[in-house]
Chains A and B, each alone.
Chain A
Amino acid sequence: MKIVKYLYIFISVIILSSCAATNLKSEAYKDLYNEKAVSVLIMPPINKSTHVEAKEYFYSTLNHEIAEDGYYVFPQFLMMDVLKKESAYDSELFVDRDDLSIFKESFGADLILFTTIHDWKKNHIGGKINVDIEYTIKSSKNSNILYHRRGDISVNTSINVSGGGLAGALISIAATAINTSKTKYVNVARATNLYTLESLPKGKYHYNYLKDGSEQVTVKDNQSKTIPLDYKRKQNSF
């Protein structure tokens, strides 16, 4: 009997810990709404993974995503040149700093986005690419963290060949392995950005600017999730 009781407690804890918290967007990101930020400076991603190109996959896709969320994003290549000349290209030097006002004073940036790629792994047989990534958006006014997400995202690149029994299954495995090695990793980065930045409140240029506060958001921090390569966001219901 005691064992059954412990089993219930154990299962309850597992279920509760796996549930992500749901909140009103205006409450979850109160400080970000109050900030009324317009411009975002995307710092070069910090790559802690062993996959050397992962930094470029994300650096070349993040501005697209943040711009589509309605924010002004500084010109990627011009900014990269300026940051290099001013010895500010190393994100590691700034990510934990208490004072980021230099970016406001020098460039007029309201928000600074730091990205850390903790891991990037390919699984040819399973047709998945696993990305452990962390996004931190800080205010340039006071360095407060206004948005934070860390996700262990698996992007599914598998191909299913329906029917055909064992032969069909073998074709699926072979096709998946080929597809995974041919997958454009830029698309993997895009899918990861799309999913992980999904609940970011919309910026000034978005048609839902200041209208999305009543939306219910699931705080997806520290989540493990499998998403398709062509991951698409759903239209918000407001």
Chain B
Amino acid sequence: MLKKLFYIGIIPLLIASCTTPKNLYIWNNYDQNSYDYLKSLDEESLAKFEATLKELIEGTPRFKRDIKSKVAPGICADYGYFLLKKGNREDAIKMFKQEIVLYPESKLFIDRILKKLEDENS
């Protein structure tokens, strides 16, 4: 009887897990925090959004073959952008370069930013 109940419970669960698409990336509260910052553009919402980006970068295991372990597109570069705005140029450049490592198609765009930073410095 217990076995029967177990199967009744497990089969719909298995079916449900087969029909829900797998996510490629981890997002946590990205949408809401991105919106809150976009709407208010204040220090508080920026701090919250930056923390979300940092969490996504540091909390996502990289260098694994599994595509799901990758940080989502744009996250590293956007985090670099906020670091740059705060004057942390060195770490910002690291983040920009990390974006190219993860997503080579960003190279043309990110190289433009890096070139601009170089020009400003010289």
A: residues with CB less than 8 A from B are: 38-39, 53, 56-57, 59-61, 63-64, 67-68, 70-79, 81-82, 106-108, 184, 186, 190, 205-207, 232-236
Residues of B close to A38: CB separation below 8 A: 105
Residues of B close to A78: CB separation below 8 A: 74, 77-78, 80-81, 113
| 3 pairs of A and B residues whose beta carbons are closest in the complex | A108-B108, A75-B74, A75-B77
Residue pair A72, B109 in contact (C-beta under 8 Å) = no
Residue in A closest to B17 when the chains form the complex, CB atoms: A235
Choose the segment among B6-14, B33-41, B57-65 that binds chain A (4+ C-beta atoms closer than 8 Å): B33-41
Residue pair A184, B32 in contact (C-beta under 8 Å) = yes
21 example contacts (A-B, Cβ-Cβ < 8 A) are as follows: A38-B105, A61-B35, A63-B74, A64-B72, A70-B24, A71-B73, A72-B105, A74-B106, A75-B74, A75-B76, A75-B81, A75-B99, A75-B106, A76-B74, A76-B78, A77-B81, A79-B109, A205-B70, A232-B20, A235-B19, A235-B20
Residues of B close to A77: CB separation below 8 A: 78, 81-82
Count of B residues near A, CB < 8 Å?
37
Task: Determine the distance from Cα of A53 to Cα of B80 in the docked complex, in whole angstroms.
Answer: 27
Residue pair B34, A108 in contact (C-beta under 8 Å) = no
Residues of B close to A76: CB separation below 8 A: 34, 74, 78
B: residues with CB less than 8 A from A are: 18-25, 27, 30-32, 34-35, 38-39, 67, 70, 72-78, 80-82, 99, 103, 105-109, 112-113
**Given A60-B35, A61-B31, A190-B31, do A233 and B108 touch, yes or no (CB 8 Å)?**
no
Residue pair B105, A60 in contact (C-beta under 8 Å) = no
Residue pair A205, B24 in contact (C-beta under 8 Å) = yes
Task: Determine the distance from Cα of A73 to Cα of B99 in the docked complex, in whole angstroms.
Answer: 11
Residues of B close to A75: CB separation below 8 A: 73-78, 81, 99, 106
Residue pair A207, B34 in contact (C-beta under 8 Å) = no
Name the contact of A67 in the complex, choosing from B35, B73, B108 (C-beta under 8 A).
B73
Main secondary structure of the interface of B (DSSP, over half): helix
Residues of A close to B107: CB separation below 8 A: 108
Residue pair A234, B19 in contact (C-beta under 8 Å) = yes
Task: Determine the distance from Cα of A233 to Cα of B19 in the docked complex, in whole angstroms.
Answer: 9
Task: Determine the distance from Cα of A56 to Cα of B32 in the docked complex, in whole angstroms.
Answer: 10
